Amino acid sequence: MSTRSIALANQKGGVGKTTTAVSLAACLAERGIHTLLLDLDPQANATSALGLEKLSGGSVYKALLGTALLADSIQPSGLEHLDIIPSEVDLAVAEVDVARAENYLQRLQFALTPIQGADRYEFIIVDCPPSLGILTMNGLAAVDSVMVPMQAEYFALEGLAVITRVLQQIRESGANPSLELEGIVLTMYDGRTNLAQQVAAEVRKHFPDKVYKTIIPRTVRLAEAPSFGKPITTYDTGSYAAKCYRSLTDELLAPPAAVPESTPTESAPKEEAPSSTPLPAA
Ligand SMILES: Nc1ncnc2c1ncn2[C@@H]1O[C@H](COP(=O)(O)OP(=O)(O)O)[C@@H](O)[C@H]1O
Ligand SMILES: [Mg+2]
């Protein structure tokens, strides 16, 4: 068994990184795939989305500085087949401390290697903070590939250009020469707006093989789930949002040609039309 590691990254906040990290991890786990979710964001949203306490000293922080083993921070998530390395505010300090350390881009890579080598997990999902700081760079240097969640809005392509340039820099730095762009997932999508449709088409034009067929709609169920400390798969297992994240998981696990035709795309079914965001008056 080999471990596949994926970071959820986008320098912009509020685009669905954490929601996608938690939902994907839960979708993998519900299939019996042993998964580790690593919360790399000092805000610890992924940690609390799974209903876990932010315990001081429980994060990746010490392992980044080489004073503890990362494996000692692994905790059960409460869901079968899913473990988590939680975050806490102290992790914010890591930005400064790690920057001063030797091989500062590869601290997480070094810390993660024994866990990958132990073959305990088939997937490691890393939730990055909303910046391109030291923590995100360490996340990118430590994984096989990057999934970029993005909202279909103005400047979406500019944002993608920034992150693809950073991926290139990480490769060229030698910290992670084989880093790949796993894919781009459109999130919080409201297909009723022309803008969303236009932006989605533009992104597909620029990244023809990299945009997932599955589009995650804007739905209150996804916004509500974290306050119950549950991923969408258990908070509302039959919801359209859960179905979308399951088909995103299908795409991740299967070669593109093998993805079934029924993959949810631009339009949500009538009974659960995208909520919130009222349409502007005509
Ligand atoms: N598809 C969605 N529909 C509605 N709300 C969403 C959706 N995805 C995420 N959210 C909510 O939007 C906010 C930002 O999402 P989050 O995943 O935390 O973004 P990021 O990690 O990129 O900052 C959170 O409150 C989250 O619950
Ligand atoms: Mg987040």
Given ligand 1 and candidates 19, 20, 146, which is best to mutate, with the most ligand atoms within 8 Å of its CB?
A: 19
Closest C-alpha residue for ligand 1 atom 6? 223
What is the DSSP annotation of 231-266? -HHHHSTTSHHHHHHHHHHHHHHS-GGGS-TT---S
- Ligand 1 and 159: CB distance under 6 A: no
Closest C-alpha residue for ligand 1 atom 8? 16
Q: What's the chain's length in residues?
A: 282
Mean pLDDT value across residues 242-248: 98
- Residue 280 falls inside a structural domain: no
| Pairing of β 35-39 and β 82-85 | parallel
Specify the number of domains making up the chain.
1
Supply the pLDDT for residue 270. 45
Q: Residue 273: pLDDT above 50?
A: no
- Ligand 1 and 150: CB distance under 6 A: no
Q: How far apart are CA 168 and CA 178, in angstroms?
A: 10
- The rounded Å distance from CA 153 to ligand 1 centre is 15
- The residues near 278 (Cβ < 8 Å, ≥ 6 apart) are none
Global pTM exceeds 0.85: yes
Is-contact 187 19, C-beta < 8 A? yes
User: Any idea which ligand is nearest the CA of 16?
Assistant: 1
Q: How far apart are CA 152 and CA 265, in angstroms?
A: 14
The dihedral region occupied by 133, where left means phi > 0, alpha psi between -120 and 50, and beta the remainder, is beta
Is-contact 124 182, C-beta < 8 A? no
Mean pLDDT value across residues 214-225: 97
Per DSSP, the three-state class of 75 is strand
- The rounded Å distance from CA 37 to ligand 2 centre is 13
Closest C-alpha residue for ligand 1 atom 16? 16
Is-contact 18 139, C-beta < 8 A? no
- Residue 127 falls inside a structural domain: yes
130 CA closest ligand 1 atom index: 23
- Residue 87 falls inside a structural domain: yes
- Ligand 1 and 13: CB distance under 6 A: yes
- Residue 277 falls inside a structural domain: no
Q: What are phi and psi of 274, to 5 degrees?
A: -50, 130
- Residue 91 falls inside a structural domain: yes
Mean pLDDT value across residues 120-125: 97
- Dig out the tokens for 28 from the structure: 């993998």
- Ligand 1 and 129: CB distance under 6 A: no
- Residue 61 falls inside a structural domain: yes
pLDDT (tens digit per residue) in 61-98: 999 999 999 999 999 999 999 999 999 888 988 889 99
Q: Residue 36: pLDDT above 60?
A: yes
- The rounded Å distance from CA 100 to ligand 1 centre is 33
- Ligand 1 and 116: CB distance under 6 A: no
CA distances from 100 to 13, 94, 103, 262 (A): 26, 10, 9, 50
Is-contact 65 102, C-beta < 8 A? no
- Residue 177 falls inside a structural domain: yes
Is-contact 35 121, C-beta < 8 A? yes
- Ligand 1 and 15: CB distance under 6 A: yes
Q: How far apart are CA 246 and CA 78, in angstroms?
A: 20
Expressed as residue numbers, the domain containing 101 is 4-272
**Mean per-residue pLDDT over the chain, rounded:** 91
Q: Which of 246, 273, 271, 202 is nearest to 23 (CA)?
A: 246
- The rounded Å distance from CA 224 to ligand 1 centre is 10
Closest C-alpha residue for ligand 1 atom 3? 218
CATH, residue 86: 3.40.50.300
